[in-house]
Structure formats: C-alpha cells, structure tokens
Amino acid sequence: MLEKEKYFNLHLVTASVFLFFFLTANSYANLQEKLFNKLKNTKTISFDFIQKIAKNEEIGNCLIKYPLLMKCDYEDIKKKSIISNGKTVAVIKKKYKKIYYYPLKSTPLYIILKKDNILNLIKNNKPTYVDSNLIEFEIIEKNSNKVKIFFDSNTLELKGWQTQDAYSNNVSFKIINLEINPIIEDSFFKIPKEKDL
C-alpha cells in the first residue's frame, strides 16, 4: 500500500508541475499576443514624462508618431527640446540658441521609435520581468546598447524605458498621462535652424 501511495504522489507532483508550466507558457503567449496587437494598433502617442539621469530629474511632454518621429519639450531653464525627424535626433537648447545633431540609428531612441523593433521583441521573446503592475522586455543591440522597455500589466500601454547615456549613466524615462492615437502632423517634427531659435 505504501508503495502505491508513493507512486500516486509522484505522478500527482509530475502532473502538477507539467500543468503549471503549461498554464504559464499559455499565459505568456496570451499576454504577448494582446500586447503585440495593442502596440500594432498604436500609430501615435502623447504623454507627460519624468526623466531621470543619474540623480537629476527632468519633466516635460512628448509626442511620438511611429515610425521614428518624436518631439519632447522639457520644462527647464534651458528650454530644451529633443526632436527626431526620422533620420536625425536634434537636442535643442533655445536659451543658448544651440542645436546638437546625432544620427538616430546611433542612439537608443532608434529601438524605441521604430515600432517594428519592439513588435519583434514582443513576438519573439518572453518578458524579462512580469508582476501585477509591470511587464519588462530587454533588448541588447550589437553595439552593446541595452534597452529595457516597460508596459503596464493591466492596460498593456507603454510605461517607459531605461537605457544608458554616452557617459554610462542610467537613464530612466517614465511615461504618465498617456493618450493613444491623437492626430499629429508630420510637420510638427521638423528640426528648426539655429538662426530661427
């Protein structure tokens, strides 16, 4: 009788473990499909943000139009803006009438603004972290840029990202007050000339 109980308990444990892994895998697949479809149907977003670089915190608002277009205005004394026109990222400091240009492909923003990158990441990878509030995916580029992208576990909306700047400082970008698919004209992402600042 004791031998039969051991055999039964062993099978019960094995079946429970198999069921747990099956349900977890099925749950991830369902989550990935919903997240993929939500992002696929997102054409534009508007939001406020909190950006933290090392110990410095900045706030402002952004507009993103997929693919590759972004404009963020910071609420700071330098009157800083960042604009991506699809090829170039311009960091504009209106107070000093200066513009700094960077090729978009050389920045982590390229991963974030090219929606297909994120869709492929979601479709082909499991989240690196999931809890009741947050879903995290991580991508490491060939040039060792590491980007973590965060989604809300309940609404499946983009919540922000984390990366490192050129000086190896952690940069976190938290999205608040997100609006999906507002109408945004392409002309909004035109980079001005320094003489027009």
Domain presence at residue 11: no
Q: From CA 85, how far away is CA 187, in angstroms rounded? A: 9
Q: From CA 1, how far away is CA 4, in angstroms rounded? A: 5
Mean pLDDT of 64-79: 93
Residue 182 has pLDDT above 50, yes or no: yes
Q: What is the pLDDT of residues 135-146, one digit of tens each?
A: 999 988 766 678
Mean pLDDT of 71-80: 90
- Higher-confidence residue of 34 and 167: namely 34
**How many structural domains does the chain have?**
1
Residue 16 has pLDDT above 50, yes or no: no
| Position 69 confidence tier, pLDDT thresholds 50, 70, 90 | very high
Residue 31's H or E segment, with its range, is helix 2-40
Please name the residue that has the structure tokens 């039969």.
4
From its phi and psi, is residue 173 left (phi > 0), alpha (psi between -120 and 50) or beta? beta
Residue 142: which domain range? Answer: 38-70+105-196
Q: How far apart are the first and last CA of the chain?
A: 88
Mean pLDDT of 37-43: 95
Q: From CA 189, how far away is CA 86, in angstroms rounded? A: 9
Domain presence at residue 84: no
Domain presence at residue 4: no
Residue 133 has pLDDT above 70, yes or no: yes
Domain presence at residue 96: no
Mean pLDDT of 58-79: 94
State the average pLDDT for the chain: 85
CATH code for the domain in which residue 147 is found: 2.50.20.10
